[in-house]
Amino acid sequence: MEPNNKEIKRRSTFSLLFYINRTKVRKDGTCKLLCKVSIDAKSAPININAFVEPSLWNPETKRANGRSENARTVNLAIEKLTEKITGHYRHIRKSLGFVTAELVKNAVEGIGQKPFTLLALFREHNEEFRKRVGVDRKEETYKSYENSYN
């Protein structure tokens, strides 16, 4: 019997948990909002710069109750962060083929990302172009790109 060499596609478990740290109450009476992203039973905390009044926090819905300014601010922060995290999750899964909680955390916090300055992108383009000179690119074109960069 011949072994099956087909790649097995595996789905990752992905969840977000928002909660507050009731043990550390600030002077103004609010508690820090925390987020934990879990993928395949491994989790990573994500830092959120939001604070919520403990009386407003609903642990079942993972949202702040009411229409106060604090409740609206906290719920908006949760929605924006949820969108950001799921966007990074999809992008990483699509580009790498796998995803970990640490990769998502780093992407959200901006750790390990490529520089997005125009010169950095142009330099990267020229390096890739140089590797293809003689294959399907011409030396003269590469020199022209180098002159433009300089």
Round to whole Å and give the CA distance between 83 and 88. 9
Encode the chain (150 residues) as per-residue pLDDT tens digits: 444 444 444 566 899 999 998 888 899 999 999 999 999 889 999 888 889 999 999 999 999 999 999 999 999 999 999 999 999 999 888 888 888 899 899 888 888 665 567 887 788 888 888 888 988 889 999 999 999 989
Round to whole Å and give the CA distance between 110 and 116. 12
Contacts of residue 58, defined as CB under 8 A and 6 or more positions apart, other chains included, come to 64, 65
